[in-house]
C-alpha cells in the first residue's frame, strides 16, 4: 500500500511540475488557442464567452488538486488563465445555482455521489489550502439539480 501511495505522490508532483512549465510558456495577449491546446491537450469542456471568446476547461481531478479555466478572446488570443479551485471561487457557489453554473465555475468534479433516499447528489473537488493542506470541497444538489449547500473539509488521510 505504501508503494502505491508513493507512486501516486510522484505522479502528482510530476503533473504539478508539468502544469507550472506549461503555464509559464503561455503569455497573455500572445498565446493562441493552438498554443494552449499544444500544451494542455483537448479541453474537458468549452464555454462560450460574450463577444465571441471562449473558455477552455482543463481538469486535474481526481488525482490532482487543480482545475484550470483558460479564456481566449474573439481573436483567439489568451486573455486569462485561472486555477479555479480556491476559496474565492467556492464562495461564488450559492444555493439555487444549477449544475451547469457550478461546473462552469469549478470545472469537472473529482467524484459524484448520489444519495437516492435523500434525493441529493454530492459533487466533490480535491484542492489544496495553503500552505499544503489537502481539502475536499463538496456541493450538494437537491432533486431539482439546484445547489442546497456547500462544505469544505479536510481530506481524510489513508490509514497505515
Question: For each of the chain's 160 residues, which pLDDT tens digit applies?
Answer: 444 444 333 343 344 457 888 888 899 999 999 999 999 999 999 999 999 999 999 999 999 999 999 999 999 999 999 999 999 999 999 999 999 999 999 999 999 999 999 999 999 999 999 999 999 999 999 999 999 999 999 998 865 5
| Angle (nearest 5°) at CA 104 between 145 and 118 | 20
The last residue of one of the domains, among 29, 51, 83, is: 83
Residue 7 and residue 78 in one domain? yes
Overall domain count for the chain? 2
Same domain, 73 and 133: no
Question: Is residue 72 domain-shared with residue 137, that is, in the same domain?
Answer: no
123-130 long-range contacts (CB < 8 A, ≥24 apart) are 123/99, 125/61, 125/67, 125/85, 126/61, 126/62, 126/64, 126/65, 126/85, 126/155, 127/65, 127/66, 127/85, 127/86, 128/65, 129/87
As beta bridge partners, residue 120 has 115
Q: Burial letters for 110-130: b for 16+ Cβ neighbours within 10 Å, e otherwise?
A: beeeeeeeeeebbbbbbbbee
For residue 114, the enclosing domain spans: 87-154
12, 78: one domain = yes
pLDDT at 24: 87
Which helix (H) or strand (E) segment holds residue 3: the answer is helix 2-24
Q: What is the pTM of this model?
A: 0.85
Q: Residue 19 has what pLDDT?
A: 81
Amino acid at each position: 500500500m505504501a508503494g502505491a501511495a508513493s507512486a501516486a505522490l510522484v505522479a502528482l508532483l510530476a503533473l504539478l511540475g508539468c502544469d507550472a512549465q506549461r503555464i509559464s510558456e503561455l503569455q497573455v495577449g500572445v498565446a493562441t488557442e493552438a498554443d494552449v491546446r499544444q500544451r494542455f491537450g483537448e479541453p474537458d469542456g468549452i464555454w462560450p464567452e460574450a463577444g465571441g471568446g471562449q473558455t477552455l476547461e482543463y481538469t486535474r481531478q481526481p488525482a490532482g488538486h487543480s482545475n484550470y479555466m483558460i479564456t481566449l478572446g474573439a481573436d483567439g488570443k489568451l486573455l486569462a488563465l485561472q486555477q479555479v479551485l480556491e476559496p474565492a471561487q467556492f464562495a461564488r457557489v450559492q444555493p439555487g445555482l444549477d449544475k451547469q453554473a457550478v461546473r462552469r465555475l469549478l470545472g469537472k468534479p473529482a467524484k459524484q455521489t448520489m444519495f437516492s433516499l435523500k434525493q441529493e447528489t454530492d459533487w466533490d473537488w480535491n484542492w489544496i489550502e495553503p500552505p499544503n493542506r489537502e481539502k475536499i470541497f463538496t456541493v450538494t444538489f437537491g432533486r431539482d439539480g439546484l445547489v442546497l449547500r456547500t462544505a469544505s473539509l479536510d481530506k481524510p488521510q489513508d490509514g497505515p
